[in-house]
Amino acid sequence: MGFAISIGIIGRIVITTAHELVHKKEKYERWLSKIALAQSFYGHFFIEHNHRHHVSVAALEDPAISRLGENFFRY
């Protein structure tokens, strides 16, 4: 149980750090974000975040935002 919780906490820290690196301009920092996201099997975040979310932020087409009245579990 402790191992699973530790992996979950570390994974959350890695994803948060990778999210910040995704926004950097330097090529090596963006590469580091891909490596960090690959460790948590969330590599598609790099593409989805930059090419879907940032293009349509707060619009109906944005996959990162729930719809009006949509509860947590439905989202």
- Domain assignment present for residue 63? The answer is no
- Domain assignment present for residue 11? The answer is yes
The pTM score is: 0.65
Spell out the per-residue pLDDT of the chain, length 75, in tens: 999 898 888 888 888 898 899 889 899 999 998 988 888 788 888 888 887 887 887 777 777 788 888 888 887
- Domain assignment present for residue 53? The answer is no
Residue 66 makes CB contacts below 8 A (sequence gap 6+) with: 72, 74, 75
Domain total in the chain: 1
Structural domain boundaries, residue 22: 2-41
- Domain assignment present for residue 64? The answer is no
- Domain assignment present for residue 36? The answer is yes
- Domain assignment present for residue 47? The answer is no
SS3 of residue 19 by DSSP: helix
Q: How many Cβ atoms from other residues are within 10 Å of residue 36's Cβ?
A: 24
Q: What is the C-alpha end-to-end distance of the chain, expressed in Å? A: 28
- Domain assignment present for residue 56? The answer is no
Residue positions counted in the chain? 75
